[in-house]
Structure 1
Amino acid sequence: MSEPVAAPATSEKQLSNKELKELKKKEKAAKRAAAKSGSGPGSGGSESAPKAKDSNGKTPTNSHVKKQLNSAKIIEVDHKVPKMFGHLETREQRISSSPQIANIVHPKILALTLKISTYKIVGSTARCQAMLEAFKDVILSYQTPDNTSLQRNLTSHLSHQIEYLKTGRPLSISMGNAIRWLKQRISTIPIDLSDEVAKQQLIEEIELYIQEKILYSDKVITQFASTHIQDGAKLLTYGHSEVLKKLFKYCALEEKKSFEIYIIDSKPLFEGKKLARELSAIPNIKCHYNLINSLSTILERSDIDFCFLGAHSMLSNGRLYSRVGTAMIAMASKNKNIPVLVCCESMKFSDKVQLDSVTLNELGDSEDVINTKPFVKTGSNLKQFLDSLENKEAKKPQQQNSKKDKKENTVNDNESSVLQNWRELKTLNILNVLYDLTPPEYIQKVITELGALPPSSVPVILREYKTNA
């Protein structure tokens, strides 16, 4: 049996070790192809592997989960995304997933993914806290398979949940930091510890992480930032931030300060409405709710003392990564010599370096940017003006109306919807980018639970965070 290898004289040339390995790989590939072809016409390549593993009672690996998710994504669909942003995933590509993945995902993760994808839970802090609460239920219901240990298998089990969670929305920086911390804590569990004790220990550490990194950090930040708010101060903020809401409530209710706050808001989520609704119920706070197109008017007519901004993340080069429109607010405030203060927990700090908001970003649904509702309520003056315009249009010669534009450049502007057929317009692209970058020169100070520092000191906070993690 060993003659072909031992007697090279009978062959034209002796095969090297590398060539022998390549020959064995080809033989294995041929065997796999023959097995797939003989398994029946209904067994595809992406479904045969999980069926074989399930029959043996083994859990799919994390790499296999990623392959299933990637194969389920919608690729060849025209989403009218410009080529400059073509590398970013659209919402349609993220929400598609295969049923094999859903079978190994915990119900809490399924519910959380649905809430995050439909923007029921918005905000980096809220999403991170909800994810950790869901992980507590996942760990409680986890059962270690035979012939393995909790320290190794639980990390893989959580990876399956995380991969499905990414189909709702990309993970925030705070969620990524919390996941890395949790996996590191799982790897340090003693091997001789029982599963029940280990799971209870992990749940207690998750609760402690929420208390220290989120709740306690917000309290310390509010105490540091409250020194900048005085009686009769005029403040400017943008959108909704959980730590800023706690700050304004702390100054009004605990320190009994009276001040005005101008809340700037924008489409598509209108997060500032929630902040305005909660702060308007406090007697000491006078709220002004405005859209972002009135920013220049507010800065001209109002003597703003400070501009407070929330953060999705602080990058290591001192740039602020936050909801789209934040950079314009900071730039306009800096132009009027208004100090810009950013309140951000240390768990949102990232060691990434980003120079623009195109390389890494998140795309929302373009339909959210379009007005889908017509005017319902109009004032008397506006109503008279609109009626006069309609009368003028009716008196125009019908020859002007006889001109027909091309179908691909015609906008169907009716009462039910504005830009209803925008996808048919070849020259129109509507892009819903969710985040932007604010340069550090527009930010005066970053207030964290570790103190108030300039943006250039972000690497110092990163080192402190890693040592205390």
Structure 2
Amino acid sequence: MSEGTKPETSQLSNKELKELKKKEKAAKRAAKKESIGIKPDSSQRRGGDKPKTASNIKKQINQSKTQSESLKIPPLFGHLETREQRISSTPPQLANIVHPSILTLCLKYSTFKIVGSTHRCQAMLEAFKDVIESYKTPEGTSLSRHLTGHLSHQIEYLKSARPLSTSMGNTIRWLKQEISLISIDETDEQAKLILAEKIDVYIKEKIEYANIAITDSTIQHIVDGSTVLTFGHSQVLLHIFKHVATELNRKFKLVIVDSRPLFEGKKLATELSGYPNISCQYVFINSLSSILQEPVDVVLLGAHAMLSNGRLYSRVGTALIAMSAHKRDIPVLVCCQSIKFSDKVQLDSVTMNELSEGQDLLTMGSKPTKRNGFALDQFLKEKRTEKEEESKGKKNSNNNNNSSNSVPLTKPEDPLANYREIDNVTILNIMYDLTPPEYIQKVITEVGSLPPSSVPVILREYKGNSSNS
């Protein structure tokens, strides 16, 4: 090469020099791959766009559908995951290693056959017992090392149905710690028996015995002729009301406040309506102000979680009831097991919450929403769109005069049925809200009654006992 053809590197800028070096490196790599026998086209395909196969195109369509559906959420809650986003983010390979009990439990979670943090936690432990019983340790490793990873895959699949509750998270951490403490010298059968026994003891101590202890501390607030107000459904409150009516033979009036779309209070009213000592009154939350005009002695509430700053994280509507009762000087008591205590700090119900289907709020009936599984929902949506396209084609071919008329978006008996197609309509269905500690008189746990400000003390004792055990 002559001197006139050489690039004048001294006159090039730094940016141009970098681009020149990149091109030289790329040319060297291409020449090296050609000498090995790899074609340049295949190497470019690996680094560039993926081939447009049918599976990739279908995956892109599903992702675009999920993104378009997430746009129907108000921007303030846009950071919360929808059910479609949880499903799409779950690796499909997990379905091959998930236990059948976990698959069944996941379906019950997603269709709200199992509701309530305590009930969900207990059902999860029973499913984990099945997983541990059918587990086989691979060669070259031990149960205490491999089983935690195997359980993590089951937990990831459970998250695709609904986010884990606080009690479930605390229980999972406890179980993984117990697995890590199992000796390597133990055989698989011995280790499985030990873990199954520990799970049974955990259910008895943290759930069943805890309910009994909370009941003993709460019964003093329900006397003959008193009026008690509660919201939704709680397993520990159900135990308290049954104990007062049957064991103590006290007569009292129970006002059950309920809300759409789950109608959890109906379950509580159904289970307690057969007790002669309990006079049940079932109302919707929109009539709360009228109900509180009548004399109410105490408000008993369940909990999804108690946060370390003393705030109550529970079913949406709880904060309204606590605030209304506090304004009328009615004591508000929260019954909560220690496994629901969380060291998280939350100031509002926006940063962390569970986003449910907006379609559930459009159900105008008085029965709880019956939800299909995710796969069935997707199948029904595809069939519905196919039928709509066929009906549009038939109408256009039969009557050209009416081709300019748009197909009605809704039916008269089901308004907003196709709300996703309306640009200026968004529907928000959050599951929980946050109650400030000043609206709560005290929290009743299995270790005693305490003010909301003492939640960190219980957390320290709980962690200390779990580490010592």
TM class by smaller structure? 0.7 to 0.9
Q: Aligned residue for 2:345?
A: 353
Which secondary structure state, in structure 1, belongs to the residue aligned with residue 346 of structure 2? coil
1:456 to 449, 453, 457: 453
Structure 1: distance between partners of 2:411 and 2:290: 30
Q: Aligned residue for 2:176?
A: 183
Preserved contact between residue 73 and residue 94 of structure 1 (Cα < 8 Å): no
Deviation for aligned residue 1:34: 5.5
In 2 relative to 1, CA 119–294 (structure 1 residues): closer, same or farther, beyond 3 Å? same
Amino acid at match of 1:281: G
Which secondary structure state, in structure 2, belongs to the residue aligned with residue 369 of structure 1? helix
1:151-230 superposed matches below 5 A: 151-230=144-223
1:366 aligns with 2:352: no
Structure 2: distance between partners of 1:180 and 1:35: 46
In 2 relative to 1, CA 76–142 (structure 1 residues): closer, same or farther, beyond 3 Å? same
Preserved contact between residue 311 and residue 452 of structure 2 (Cα < 8 Å): yes
Which secondary structure state, in structure 1, belongs to the residue aligned with residue 321 of structure 2? helix
Give me the TM-score of the superposition, normalised by structure 1.
0.77
Preserved contact between residue 236 and residue 306 of structure 1 (Cα < 8 Å): yes
1:446 to 443, 453, 467: 443
Structure 2: distance between partners of 1:329 and 1:411: 37
The C-alpha deviation readout for 1:203-262, integer Å capped at 9, x for no partner, is 100000000000000011011000111000001000000000000000000000000010
Q: Aligned residue for 1:82?
A: 74
2:227 to 234, 253, 259: 234
Structure 2: distance between partners of 1:81 and 1:93: 13
Preserved contact between residue 36 and residue 43 of structure 1 (Cα < 8 Å): no
1:426 aligns with 2:417: no
Structure 2: tracts of 5 or more residues without a match: 1-24, 368-404
Structure 2: distance between partners of 1:322 and 1:374: 22
Structure 1: distance between partners of 2:415 and 2:364: 6
Segment of structure 1 superposing worse, 78-87 or 290-299: 78-87
Preserved contact between residue 74 and residue 427 of structure 2 (Cα < 8 Å): no
Deviation for aligned residue 1:99: 3.8
Structure 2: distance between partners of 1:74 and 1:98: 18
Structure 2: distance between partners of 1:361 and 1:320: 13
Deviation for aligned residue 1:411: 7.6
Q: Aligned residue for 1:319?
A: 311
Preserved contact between residue 151 and residue 191 of structure 1 (Cα < 8 Å): yes
Give me the TM-score of the superposition, normalised by structure 2.
0.77
Deviation for aligned residue 1:98: 4.7
Structure 1: distance between partners of 2:182 and 2:417: 56
1:350-429 superposed matches below 5 A: 350-373=342-365, 412=410, 414-415=412-413, 417-429=414-426
Preserved contact between residue 74 and residue 93 of structure 1 (Cα < 8 Å): no
Which secondary structure state, in structure 1, belongs to the residue aligned with residue 292 of structure 2? helix
Preserved contact between residue 66 and residue 84 of structure 2 (Cα < 8 Å): no
1:259 aligns with 2:259: no
Which secondary structure state, in structure 2, belongs to the residue aligned with residue 446 of structure 1? strand
Fraction of identical pairs, as percent = 61
Deviation for aligned residue 1:182: 0.4
Deviation for aligned residue 1:74: 6.7
Deviation for aligned residue 1:78: 2.8
In 2 relative to 1, CA 463–151 (structure 1 residues): closer, same or farther, beyond 3 Å? same
Deviation for aligned residue 1:72: 8.1
Which secondary structure state, in structure 1, belongs to the residue aligned with residue 163 of structure 2? coil
1:147 to 140, 146, 160: 140
Deviation for aligned residue 1:323: 0.4
Q: Aligned residue for 1:284?
A: 277
Structure 1: distance between partners of 2:221 and 2:338: 20
Amino acid at match of 1:278: E
Structure 2: distance between partners of 1:283 and 1:274: 17
The C-alpha deviation readout for 1:291-348, integer Å capped at 9, x for no partner, is 0000000001x10000000000000000000000000000000001000000000000
Preserved contact between residue 69 and residue 420 of structure 2 (Cα < 8 Å): no
1:267-306 superposed matches below 5 A: 267-300=260-293, 302-306=294-298
The C-alpha deviation readout for 1:356-410, integer Å capped at 9, x for no partner, is 10000000000000135599xxxxxxxxxxxxxxxxxxxxxxxxxxxxxxx99x9
Preserved contact between residue 316 and residue 432 of structure 2 (Cα < 8 Å): yes
Structure 2: distance between partners of 1:35 and 1:411: 47
Q: Aligned residue for 1:379?
A: none
Structure 1: distance between partners of 2:65 and 2:229: 42
Deviation for aligned residue 1:83: 1.3
Structure 1: distance between partners of 2:269 and 2:107: 26
Deviation for aligned residue 1:192: 1.1
1:466 aligns with 2:457: no
Deviation for aligned residue 1:73: 10
Deviation for aligned residue 1:285: 0.2
Preserved contact between residue 236 and residue 263 of structure 1 (Cα < 8 Å): yes
Aligned-residue CA RMSD in angstroms?
A: 2.9
Deviation for aligned residue 1:468: 2.3
Preserved contact between residue 309 and residue 345 of structure 2 (Cα < 8 Å): yes
Deviation for aligned residue 1:93: 1.7
Amino acid at match of 1:466: K
Preserved contact between residue 173 and residue 348 of structure 1 (Cα < 8 Å): yes
Which secondary structure state, in structure 1, belongs to the residue aligned with residue 241 of structure 2? helix
Q: How many residues are matched? A: 384
Segment of structure 1 superposing worse, 92-101 or 330-339: 92-101
Q: Identify the structure with bigger relative contact order (alpha carbons < 8 Å, sequence gap 6+).
A: 2
1:36-115 superposed matches below 5 A: 37=46, 75-79=66-70, 80-96=72-88, 97-115=90-108
Q: Kindly report structure 1 stretches of 4+ aligned residues shifted beyond 6 Å.
A: 30-33, 41-44, 71-74
Deviation for aligned residue 1:95: 3.3
Which secondary structure state, in structure 2, belongs to the residue aligned with residue 78 of structure 1? helix
Structure 1: tracts of 5 or more residues without a match: 1-22, 48-67, 376-406
Amino acid at match of 1:134: A
Preserved contact between residue 252 and residue 282 of structure 1 (Cα < 8 Å): yes
In 2 relative to 1, CA 422–72 (structure 1 residues): closer, same or farther, beyond 3 Å? closer
